[in-house]
């Protein structure tokens, strides 16, 4: 791969305190513009573009993208033969390049360029006060309403590698990758309009050559149904390339002699639309969004198909600098210009959430059905506490038995009240099992555990880890032994969040013969139970499920108060599950370091930053120290993009050291001293 600069920076690590915090965390603030345009009025168009650049700069945008041939207007037709139009556009381009210097950003503008008696439809990359590169269009549409070949030459018909504009020699061609010296994750490839619609878009090869961000300058006319197709095309290309994708198109200011241009603009990232313009508006629109290029890079690192593929041509690097502003970690924290949910495992849209829950519930049920068919058993034993996790497992078991046309009485539900069991949870467990038509058994564990304490010489008044774990292991022993009695299997109930934190007793609730909840995080369990109450069941069953959903999360291992009230609440001990699930998603799914996870958490949660840091430390300490429990976890189905099975997605040594991650948290904590 060739370079157009000899001072390639190599790999450098940006420090949060010394530069723009967004860049240091892998974010790149961009804007796509649909400018108001007058056909062939270069001065007016340049003025509008200049104003949009200045406005984007005020919002700290680092790159702004404009449509195809926006300096002249796309629909100039035979006016493209006029030297006056072409010369004026080139002069305006030089002025806009100068604008990028005092506005401290990058801009990409569509312009016609004359080279060796051929006219090219080009994207001009502007930055640092100069034209840094010029990318000509490869695929020229020449059917139906389009006839670009009348005026323009395809990039495939030139051997030129540079072009002179004024006293500047500028890289020219379709094999340019624009790379930021001070932001290694930022490498930019460019394609123009029809290039995207080709069988093999240039962006695919550019992505394999290292481009993490693809820009598309377009002039797509509007037709009935075309907008949704175009949106899907952009989403799919960004997903296929594992890249961010900026797209903007000419607006209704273009000629309407035969066509209407809608000004459709989108910002996408790996299959997700971050921002989108309104269509068919005459005034200038500026759509902004923060791209996570570190996330793009991490996704590529994990994708062996991507890493084993190669670009189909040699690319050349054009190096540039991204201007940065000094921003403190604790003050002046910028608000991200992208949608960010505090519950990344749960869709915000209610209809999508319902669809999501239905699919998960079906996956769990089919997974268990396969296991029952394979073992040939008609029985499962399940410990039902009256809490969310065991309730979900029970509902899945009943759905499975219905799928297999098996008698629900084969589901042996056992409640095992101990020292911390409340009447509410015990009552809900018994009522639910009987309403569902399962076999119900109540086996108290008080005396068995007391006998165990006596055998090992443990003082019952000492409520330590022995006191708690002895109860958990007694319950598992009962479940295993009853399963042996009936020739069945023990159905596990622990969820993904508990596995991540190790909030389970080794060789107790950590163990089963099959665990249908292993891939479901805690924040999603609650929604699944509520969804079941609304969609799978009704009447008294639904009433019980709603009450279970309102019950505080607790292992119920410590004694109750004198009034019989619960004294042990999980989230008061380790922190809110919604926060830990957030940490889990960004740490495992995207491999983000603690400082970035913390930054994102501060964007969506109302907890104090010190609270979030405290829980972040708890998360990393437990995640590393409790891997041995996950290394011995039972079989269970993968449900979403985050899974912790040692046989599948997550392979980690049980004795891995957490010092690097904890040290980064310590450094952040020092900022609050």
Please state, as a whole number, how many other Cβ atoms lie within 10 Å of the Cβ of residue 227: 16
Q: 380-383 and 489-492: which strand pairing? A: parallel
C-alpha 108/C-alpha 502 separation (Å) is: 50
DSSP letter for each residue of 614-666: HHHHHHHHHHHHTHHHHHTPPP----SS----TTTT----TT---HHHHHHHH
Taking alpha carbons only, the member of 383, 576, 372 closest to residue 487 is: 372
Q: Report DSSP state, residue 342.
A: S
Helix H or strand E encompassing 285: strand 285-292
C-alpha 602/C-alpha 5 separation (Å) is: 39
152-159 CB contacts, 8 Å cutoff, 24+ apart: 152/80, 152/112, 152/119, 152/120, 152/121, 153/118, 153/119, 153/120, 155/120, 157/118, 158/115, 158/116, 158/118, 158/120
Asked if 186 and 292 touch (Cβ cutoff 8 Å), the reply is: no
25 alpha-carbon distance from chain centroid: 15
- The first and second tokens of residue 279, run together, are 């269509």
Residues 119, 124, 130: CA angle, nearest 5 degrees: 125
Asked if 510 and 530 touch (Cβ cutoff 8 Å), the reply is: no
CA distances (Å), origin 511, targets 411, 632, 642 = 18, 8, 20
φ, ψ for residue 277, nearest 5 deg:
-85, 165
Q: Report DSSP state, residue 248.
A: E
C-alpha R_g of the chain: 30
What stretches of 365-470 adopt beta strand conformation (E)? 380-383, 411-415, 439-442
Asked if 172 and 312 touch (Cβ cutoff 8 Å), the reply is: no
C-alpha 586/C-alpha 398 separation (Å) is: 33
C-alpha 509/C-alpha 478 separation (Å) is: 12
Please state, as a whole number, how many other Cβ atoms lie within 10 Å of the Cβ of residue 113: 22
Q: Which residues are catalytic?
A: 68, 137, 193
C-alpha 609/C-alpha 442 separation (Å) is: 45
């Amino acid at each position: 791969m060739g370079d157009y600069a000899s001072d390639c920076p190599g790999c450098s690590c940006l420090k949060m305190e010394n530069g723009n915090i967004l860049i240091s965390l892998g974010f790149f603030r961009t804007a796509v513009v649909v400018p108001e345009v007058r056909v062939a009025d270069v001065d007016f168009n340049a003025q509008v573009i200049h104003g949009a650049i200045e406005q984007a700069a005020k919002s700290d945008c680092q790159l702004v993208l404009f449509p195809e041939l926006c300096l002249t207007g796309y629909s100039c037709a035979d006016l493209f033969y006029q030297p006056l139009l072409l010369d004026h556009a080139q002069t305006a381009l030089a002025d806009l390049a100068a604008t990028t210097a005092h506005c401290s950003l990058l801009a990409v503008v569509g312009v016609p360029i004359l080279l060796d008696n051929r006219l090219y439809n080009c994207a001009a990359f502007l930055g640092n006060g100069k034209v840094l590169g010029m990318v000509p269009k490869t695929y020229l549409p020449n059917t139906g309403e389009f006839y670009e070949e009348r005026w323009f030459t395809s990039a495939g018909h030139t051997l030129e590698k540079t072009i002179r504009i004024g006293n500047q020699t500028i890289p020219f061609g379709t094999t340019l990758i624009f790379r930021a010296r001070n932001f290694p994750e930022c490498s930019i490839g460019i394609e123009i309009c029809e290039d995207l619609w080709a069988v093999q878009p240039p962006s695919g090869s550019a992505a394999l050559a290292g481009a993490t961000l693809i820009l598309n300058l377009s002039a797509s006319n509007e037709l009935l149904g075309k907008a949704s197709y175009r949106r899907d095309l952009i989403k799919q290309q960004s997903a296929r390339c594992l890249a961010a994708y900026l797209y903007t198109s000419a607006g209704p200011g273009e000629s309407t002699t035969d066509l209407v241009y809608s000004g459709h603009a989108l910002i996408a990232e790996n299959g997700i639309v971050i921002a989108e313009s309104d269509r068919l508006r005459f005034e200038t629109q500026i759509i902004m969004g923060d791209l996570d290029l570190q996330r793009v890079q991490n996704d590529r690192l994990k994708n062996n198909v991507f890493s084993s593929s190669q670009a189909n041509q040699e690319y050349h690097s054009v190096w540039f600098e991204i201007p940065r502003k000094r921003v403190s970690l604790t003050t002046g924290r910028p608000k991200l210009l992208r949608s960010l949910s505090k519950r990344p495992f749960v869709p915000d849209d209610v209809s999508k959430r319902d669809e999501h829950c239905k699919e998960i519930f079906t996956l769990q049920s089919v997974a268990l059905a396969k296991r029952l068919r394979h073992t040939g058993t008609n029985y499962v034993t399940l410990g039902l506490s009256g809490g969310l996790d065991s309730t979900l497992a029970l509902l899945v078991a009943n759905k499975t038995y219905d799928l297999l046309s098996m008698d629900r009485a084969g589901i042996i539900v056992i409640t095992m009240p101990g020292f911390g069991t409340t009447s509410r949870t015990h009552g809900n467990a018994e009522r639910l099992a009987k309403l569902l038509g399962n076999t119900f058994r109540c086996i108290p564990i008080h005396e068995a555990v007391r006998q165990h304490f006596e055998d090992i010489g443990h003082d019952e008044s000492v409520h330590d880890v022995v006191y708690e774990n002895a109860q958990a292991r007694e319950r598992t022993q009962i479940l295993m032994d009853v399963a042996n009695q009936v020739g069945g299997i023990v159905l596990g109930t622990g969820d993904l969040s508990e596995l991540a934190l190790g909030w389970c007793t080794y060789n107790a609730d950590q163990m089963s013969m099959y665990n249908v909840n292993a891939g479901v995080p805690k924040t999603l369990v609650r929604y699944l139970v509520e969804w079941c109450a609304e969609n799978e069941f009704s009447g008294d069953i639904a009433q019980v499920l709603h009450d279970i959903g309102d019950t505080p999360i607790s292992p119920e291992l410590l004694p109750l108060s004198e009034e019989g009230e619960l004294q042990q609440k999980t989230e008061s001990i380790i922190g809110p599950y919604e926060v830990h699930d957030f940490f889990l998603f960004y740490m495992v799914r995207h491999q983000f370091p603690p400082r970035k996870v913390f930054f994102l958490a501060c964007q969506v949660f109302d907890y104090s930053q010190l609270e979030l840091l405290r829980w972040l430390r708890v998360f990393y300490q437990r995640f590393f120290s409790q891997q041995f429990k996950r290394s011995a976890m039972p079989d269970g189905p993968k449900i979403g993009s985050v899974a912790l099975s040692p046989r599948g997605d997550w392979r980690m040594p049980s004795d891995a050291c957490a010092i690097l991650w904890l040290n980064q948290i310590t450094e952040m904590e020092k900022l609050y001293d």
